[in-house]
Structure 1
């Protein structure tokens, strides 16, 4: 009986250590992503502080997001700490409604001072966005109607968007 208890304890310990190793090895590791950056222009001018979403097409496990800077440049982020996106096919949505550009548009339209350029990731409480209209056509800004697509390959990708009415 003592042998069977020791055998059971040994098997339990081996299973516990194995499960622990599997759990620890998965912690903190990010998937291999492709680096994606580029520039967005609208009618020939840089599109400042716009939100960009790459949505897997067909729908898949995960996309990525970015925000353009004052010069229309962007770098996709897989998560808060990882630049890039998984290689594959994506539809792309570019919007100014929930961005600093929308807040600037609202403040400019309400005869108040223009928002100074600062952190493009600054929070924009929804109360500041009421009444702000999307400045881009739905063919760019709607996830259902976008005509924009991107193919992301392994390695470094430069994907520019030259949007025109």
Structure 2
């Protein structure tokens, strides 16, 4: 039986469409894999509320950042909301925020946003964590700077649930 040209063309278009969809859905090769990281931060036994938390691994292309909620809980974002951090050893910074971030939901996870909005927020967070903590900080200033923070966390493959207690 002879294959008709329109049927062959339809099959070819369908196959090509599937290949393009598969290629478009895959992770960019330059983007390292991330694993979920959630946790809770306390200072003097109390939750650290509305603080910016950043994790930076040596050689990582960007920070993983989160904001604590009323209970001190956070969830990290590297590329998309709540995707976590790159596995490995991280220097952790924690900085007090003067205002409650509007992009956070009540659970401390990032609100749904466009990729452009996420990229802008990540750039702003990178700038914020690179500056020293202000005089009005509620936390010891050492935690606000990667050079002075003594917080180190190993992010393992799989789910990571952390309890971090800050001290003077």
RMSD: 3.2
- Give the Cα separation in 1 of the matches to 2:46 and 2:66: 18
Counterparts in 2 of 1:141 and 1:46: CA distance versus 1, 3 Å: same
TM-score by length of 1: 0.61
5+ residue gaps, structure 1, are 1-16, 105-117, 124-130
Residue in structure 2 matching 1:103, options 99, 103, 113: 99
Moved >6 Å (runs of 4+): 118-123
Larger Rg: 1
Match of 1:140 in 2: 143
Decide whether the 8 Å contact of 1:90 with 1:151 is kept in 2.
Answer: yes
Q: CA deviation at 1:140?
A: 1.1
1:26, CA displacement in angstroms? Answer: 5.5
1:25 aligns to 2:23 (yes or no)? yes
Give structure 2 stretches of 5+ with no counterpart.
1-15, 112-120, 122-133
Residues in 1 aligned to 2:64 and 2:136: alpha-carbon distance in whole angstroms: 24
Name the residue aligned to 1:53.
54
TM-score between the two structures when normalised by the length of structure 2: 0.60
| 8 Å Cα contact 2:36/2:82 also seen in 1 | no
Maintained 8 Å contact 1:103/1:132: no
